C-alpha cells in the first residue's frame, strides 16, 4: 500500500511540475510586460491576470504539499491583491521582488530550494511593498494576510479537455506516421498497375501490326489481325487489368483519405501557439540588455499562430542565437544610437506568419547598425575560409553568405556566450534539416532581418528523385528550377569551370556523383547522347546538376538521421519511398557550397593555402599565467594532455620575461595577479611589435560587463569565466586561435 501511495504522490508531483512551469512562464511574461510603461487600463488587466496565475499556482502547490512554494505564492498574491484594489502602487522594486519569487519557485521545482532564503525573499517583498506606500485603509503590510479572491478572477473548471503527456502523444503520432508507408505503397501499386494496363494495350497493338505485316499482299483484309481466340483472350486480360487498376485506385484513395485525415487530426493535436516558445524570450532580452548596457524593446507579432510543436522545439535554439546576435552585435549602445540620430531604445522583433503551401515564416528583425561586410570578409580571411584576393572579389550577397560558415565570428573577443562563430551556422543547419531555407537582409545603420521559411510539418516530403552512380537521391521540390537534357557539345568552359548557356547567361554545372564523392558508373551516357541535368537553386545562386536519370516527383516519409551521423555533408535526412527503398534527401545549399569548393581547389596555386602551425609538424607552445598553483597545475595538465607544450608563470612580470626569451603560440592568463595583472600583460603584448599578433585568452573570476569590455580594450582574444569553466570550451577556443 505504501508503494502505491508513493507512486500516486510521484505522479501528482510530476503533474504539478508541468502545470507549474506553465504558470511560471505566464507570470514571467506578465511581470516583464508590467515593467514597461503601459496605459492604466492595460496595466490593470495584466495585474489581474498575474494575480490569477499566482493564486492558481498557490492552490496547486498546497494540494501536493509544496509548502515553500505555497508560502511564496501567498506573499506575492497578497501584494498583487492590494495592487488590484488600488491600495498599493506597483513599483519597479516590487516587480523585481515578484520576479525573484518566481525564480525561487522555479529553483524549488528544480531541486535548488532553500527554506531560509525563501523567508528572506518574503521579507524583501514585504519591505518593497512598505516602501511603495499605502493608498487606502486596511492595507497593513505586516503578515501579508490572505485576501478574498474576486469572483470574476476565479477560473472555471476546464471543459472538454484532458492533460496528456507529450511523450504519449509523440508515440501515437509516430505510429500514425508509419501508416504513411502503406499509403505511399498503395500509390506505387496503382502506378505499377497503370503501367501494366498500358503495356497490355501496346502488346495487342504490336501483335496486330505484326500479323498484318505477315499477310500476303492480296489477302482478304477481313482475315487480318489476331486469331479470334487470342484477340478475345487479350481483351479479357486487359479488362481484368483495368478492373484491377480501378479497384486499386479506389483502395488507394480510401487509404489515402483515412491516413491523411488521421494525420491532420494528430497534427492539430500537436499544434502549439508560437508564444509557447516566444514567451521565454522577454526575460532573456531583459537580462542581456542589462548585461550589455543597452536598451531594447521586444516585440512579437503572430505569437498566437499555432505551429507543430516539433517545429517550434527544433527552432528554439536557432531563435535564441538570432535574438542574442541581434542584441549583442546588432543593437548599438544608447550613446551610439543617439549620435546616429536614433532613439536610445533599440527594437528587436519576431514575426511569425503562415504562408501558402503548408509553410510558415519566422522573421527576426532589429533596427541596429546592420552587418559590417568588411569585418565579415576580414574574419573569413583570418580563419582561412578564403584568401584576401577572393574576399575582395565577393559580391554583397556572397559576403553575407559567409556569416553562416562555421567558425566565423566578427566578435572582438571570445566569451562563454559569443565569439565562437557557431551560432548562425547552427541556425542555417537546423532550418535546412527541417527542409526550410533562410535569407538575410541588412542595411548599414538601419538594421538586419533574418527570414526563415519552414515546413508546417516534418512527416512527409516531396521532391524530385534522381539517380547518380546507380543510387537514388531526392532533391527538394522547392529547390528544383527545371529538369533539362544537355548535349556534350553544349558544355563550354567559363572561368575554368564547366558551364552551359541558360536564359542567355552561363550556368555552371557539376556532376552530382562527383559532388557526393561517388565513382562514375561504367555504362554512362553515350558520348553523343544528351545527359539529364537538374537546375537547382539555393538563395540567389543556381547550378546545373548532371545526373544519370530523372525518376520523377515522389512523396517520401522523412526519417531523421541519428547519431553518429548527425551532420552529413550534402545530406539533410533520409526518405522512405512507397517501394520501400531508402533515398537520401539532399541539401541544396551544401551542394552549391561543394561546387564552390571544387572550383577553389581547381584554382588554388601550387602548394595550396598556408598550413596552420600544427600542420607544419611543430608542437604549439603555450604559456599559462596564474598566481594560483592549483589553477596553474590544472591548466598545464589539461593542455599537455591535449598535445601542447606548456610553460608556466606566477604573474605578469614573470610571463613577460618568458615571452621575451621564447617563441610562444598562445597565452592563457589569469587577470587578478600581483605585480602585473592580466589586463596589463595583454596591453603590453599588443604594444610590442614582435608579439602584437600573439593570441591571449583570459581565464578569470571577473565576470562583469565592465571587465569584458576592459578585456576587449586591451586586445584579449577570449574571456572565459572560472565559475563556469568548461575544459572542452577552453580547448576548442585554443584550437581555433592557435
Same domain, 427 and 285: yes
Report the 10 Å Cβ neighbour count for 600: 14
Report the 10 Å Cβ neighbour count for 26: 20
Q: Does residue 164 fall inside a structural domain?
A: no
CATH code (residue 400): 3.30.565.10
Same domain, 443 and 299: yes
Which residue range forms the structural domain that includes residue 90? 2-153
Q: Does residue 656 fall inside a structural domain?
A: yes
3-class DSSP assignment, residue 366:
strand
Same domain, 297 and 446: yes
Q: From the centroid of its chain, how far is CA 164?
A: 27
- Nearest one of 703, 716, 729 to 669, comparing CA atoms: 716
CATH code (residue 119): 1.20.120.160
Same domain, 638 and 719: yes
Contact 346, 294 (CB under 8 A): yes
- Residues shown for the chain: 738
Express each pLDDT in 389-445 by its tens digit.
888 888 877 788 878 775 566 555 555 445 444 457 778 877 877 778 888 898 888
Q: What is the pLDDT of residue 364?
A: 93
pLDDT, the chain, mean = 78
Q: Does residue 218 fall inside a structural domain?
A: no
Those residues whose C-beta lies under 8 Å from the C-beta of residue 45, and which sit 6 or more positions away, are none
Q: What average pLDDT values come out for the chain (738 residues) when binned by 10 residues?
A: 60 77 86 82 87 84 82 89 84 88 86 76 87 51 37 44 68 74 82 86 79 62 59 81 87 84 77 84 84 88 86 85 87 90 92 85 92 81 74 80 67 50 68 80 90 77 86 87 87 81 85 83 60 85 89 79 62 76 84 75 45 54 85 82 87 88 88 84 87 84 68 78 63 77
Same domain, 18 and 93: yes
Q: Does residue 246 fall inside a structural domain?
A: yes
3-class DSSP assignment, residue 218:
coil
Same domain, 235 and 259: yes
Strand boundaries in 524-665, DSSP class E: 530-538, 541-546, 549-559, 571-576, 582-586, 621-625, 645-649
Strand order in the sheet with 296-301: 296-301, 346-355, 359-366, 447-455, 437-443
3-class DSSP assignment, residue 496:
coil
Joined grid coordinates for residue 435: 527542409
How many CA atoms lie less than 13 Å away from 341 in the CB half-sphere? 2
d(CA 117, CA 112): 11
What single DSSP character describes residue 651? S
Same domain, 53 and 132: yes
Same domain, 346 and 374: yes
The H or E element containing residue 287 is helix 281-292
Q: Does residue 687 fall inside a structural domain?
A: yes
Domain boundary among 455, 486, 517: 455
Same domain, 206 and 304: no
How many folded domains does the chain comprise?
A: 5
Those residues whose C-beta lies under 8 Å from the C-beta of residue 495, and which sit 6 or more positions away, are none
How many CA atoms lie less than 13 Å away from 398 in the CB half-sphere? 13
Same domain, 122 and 25: yes
Same domain, 430 and 481: no
Q: What is the pLDDT of residue 615?
A: 44
d(CA 308, CA 271): 5
CATH code (residue 547): 2.40.50.180
Q: Does residue 544 fall inside a structural domain?
A: yes
Same domain, 438 and 476: no
Torsion of CA 235, 236, 237, 239, to 10 degrees: 80
CATH code (residue 723): 3.40.50.2300
Domain boundary among 121, 153, 185: 153
Strand 414-415 relative to strand 718-721, pairing: parallel
Q: Does residue 161 fall inside a structural domain?
A: no
Q: What is the pLDDT of residue 373?
A: 84
Contact 47, 34 (CB under 8 A): yes
- Nearest one of 632, 590, 257 to 437, comparing CA atoms: 590
Domain boundary among 603, 635, 666: 603
Those residues whose C-beta lies under 8 Å from the C-beta of residue 310, and which sit 6 or more positions away, are 270, 458
What single DSSP character describes residue 201? H
d(CA 619, CA 609): 20
Q: What is the pLDDT of residue 601?
A: 55
Contact 37, 87 (CB under 8 A): no
Q: What is the pLDDT of residue 277?
A: 84
Q: What is the pLDDT of residue 713?
A: 77
Torsion of CA 252, 257, 260, 264, to 10 degrees: 180
d(CA 632, CA 670): 9
What single DSSP character describes residue 134? B
Q: Does residue 131 fall inside a structural domain?
A: yes
d(CA 241, CA 228): 20
Amino acid at each position: 500500500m505504501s508503494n502505491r501511495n508513493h507512486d500516486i504522490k510521484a505522479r501528482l508531483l510530476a503533474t504539478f511540475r508541468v502545470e507549474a512551469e506553465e504558470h511560471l512562464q505566464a507570470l514571467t511574461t506578465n511581470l516583464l510586460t508590467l515593467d514597461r510603461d503601459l496605459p492604466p487600463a492595460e496595466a490593470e488587466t495584466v495585474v489581474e491576470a498575474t494575480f490569477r496565475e499566482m493564486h492558481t499556482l498557490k492552490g496547486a502547490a498546497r494540494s501536493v504539499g509544496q509548502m515553500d512554494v505555497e508560502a511564496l505564492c501567498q506573499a506575492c498574491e497578497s501584494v498583487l491583491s492590494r495592487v488590484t484594489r488600488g491600495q498599493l502602487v506597483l513599483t519597479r522594486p516590487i516587480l523585481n521582488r515578484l520576479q525573484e519569487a518566481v525564480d525561487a519557485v522555479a529553483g524549488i521545482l528544480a531541486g535548488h530550494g532553500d527554506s531560509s532564503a525563501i523567508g528572506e525573499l518574503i521579507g524583501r517583498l514585504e519591505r518593497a511593498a512598505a516602501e511603495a506606500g499605502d493608498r487606502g485603509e486596511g492595507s497593513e503590510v505586516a503578515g501579508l494576510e490572505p485576501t478574498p479572491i474576486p469572483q470574476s478572477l476565479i477560473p472555471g473548471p476546464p471543459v472538454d479537455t484532458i492533460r496528456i503527456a507529450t511523450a504519449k502523444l509523440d508515440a501515437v503520432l509516430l505510429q500514425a506516421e508509419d501508416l504513411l508507408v502503406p499509403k505511399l505503397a498503395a500509390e506505387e501499386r496503382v502506378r505499377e498497375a497503370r503501367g501494366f494496363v498500358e503495356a497490355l494495350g501496346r502488346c495487342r497493338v504490336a501483335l496486330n501490326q505484326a500479323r498484318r505485316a505477315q499477310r500476303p499482299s492480296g489477302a482478304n483484309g477481313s482475315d487480318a489481325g489476331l486469331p479470334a481466340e487470342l484477340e478475345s483472350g487479350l481483351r479479357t486480360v486487359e479488362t481484368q487489368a483495368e478492373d484491377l487498376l480501378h479497384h486499386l485506385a479506389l483502395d488507394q484513395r480510401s487509404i489515402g483519405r483515412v491516413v491523411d485525415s488521421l494525420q491532420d487530426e494528430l497534427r492539430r493535436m500537436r499544434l502549439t501557439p508560437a508564444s509557447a516558445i516566444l514567451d521565454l524570450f522577454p526575460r532573456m532580452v531583459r537580462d542581456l540588455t542589462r548585461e550589455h548596457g543597452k536598451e531594447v524593446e521586444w516585440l512579437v507579432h503572430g505569437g498566437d499562430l499555432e505551429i507543430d510543436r516539433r517545429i517550434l522545439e527544433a527552432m528554439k535554439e536557432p531563435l535564441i542565437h538570432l535574438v542574442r546576435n541581434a542584441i549583442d552585435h546588432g543593437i548599438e549602445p544608447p550613446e551610439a544610437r543617439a549620435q546616429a540620430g536614433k532613439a536610445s531604445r533599440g527594437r528587436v522583433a519576431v514575426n511569425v506568419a503562415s504562408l501558402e503551401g503548408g509553410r510558415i515564416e519566422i522573421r527576426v528583425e532589429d533596427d541596429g547598425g546592420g552587418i559590417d561586410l568588411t569585418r565579415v570578409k576580414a574574419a573569413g580571411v583570418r580563419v582561412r575560409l578564403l584568401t584576401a584576393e577572393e574576399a575582395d572579389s565577393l559580391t554583397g550577397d556572397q559576403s553575407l553568405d559567409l556569416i553562416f560558415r562555421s567558425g566565423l565570428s566578427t566578435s572582438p573577443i571570445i566569451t562563454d556566450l559569443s565569439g565562437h562563430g557557431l551560432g548562425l551556422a547552427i541556425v542555417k543547419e537546423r532550418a535546412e534539416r527541417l527542409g526550410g531555407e533562410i535569407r538575410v537582409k541588412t542595411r548599414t545603420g538601419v538594421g538586419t532581418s533574418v527570414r526563415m521559411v519552414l515546413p508546417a510539418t516534418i512527416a512527409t516530403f516531396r521532391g524530385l528523385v534522381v539517380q547518380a552512380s546507380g543510387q537514388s537521391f531526392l532533391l527538394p521540390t522547392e529547390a528544383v528550377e527545371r529538369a533539362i537534357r544537355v548535349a556534350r557539345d553544349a558544355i563550354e568552359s567559363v572561368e575554368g569551370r564547366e558551364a552551359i548557356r541558360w536564359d542567355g547567361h552561363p550556368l555552371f554545372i557539376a556532376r552530382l556523383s562527383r559532388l557526393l564523392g561517388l565513382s562514375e558508373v561504367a555504362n554512362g551516357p553515350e558520348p553523343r547522347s544528351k545527359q539529364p541535368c537538374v537546375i537547382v537553386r539555393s538563395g540567389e545562386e543556381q547550378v546545373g546538376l548532371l545526373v544519370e536519370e530523372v525518376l520523377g516527383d515522389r512523396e517520401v516519409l522523412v526519417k531523421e538521421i541519428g547519431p553518429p551521423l548527425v551532420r552529413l555533408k550534402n545530406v539533410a535526412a533520409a526518405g522512405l519511398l512507397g517501394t520501400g527503398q531508402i533515398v537520401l534527401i539532399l541539401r541544396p545549399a551544401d551542394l552549391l557550397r561543394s561546387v564552390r569548393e571544387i572550383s577553389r581547389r581547381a584554382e588554388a596555386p601550387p602548394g595550396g593555402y598556408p598550413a596552420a602551425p600544427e600542420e607544419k609538424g611543430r608542437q604549439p607552445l603555450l604559456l599559462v599565467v596564474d598566481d594560483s598553483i592549483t589553477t596553474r597545475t590544472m591548466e598545464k595538465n589539461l593542455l599537455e594532455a591535449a598535445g601542447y607544450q606548456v610553460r608556466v608563470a606566477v604573474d605578469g612580470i614573470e610571463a613577460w620575461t618568458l615571452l621575451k626569451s621564447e617563441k610562444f603560440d598562445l597565452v592563457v592568463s589569469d587577470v587578478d595577479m600581483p605585480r602585473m595583472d592580466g589586463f596589463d600583460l595583454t596591453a603590453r603584448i599588443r604594444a610590442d611589435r614582435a608579439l602584437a599578433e600573439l593570441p591571449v585568452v583570459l581565464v578569470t573570476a571577473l565576470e562583469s560587463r565592465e571587465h569584458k569590455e576592459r578585456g576587449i580594450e586591451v586586445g584579449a582574444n577570449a574571456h572565459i569565466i572560472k565559475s563556469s569553466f568548461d575544459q572542452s570550451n577552453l580547448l576548442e577556443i585554443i584550437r581555433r586561435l592557435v
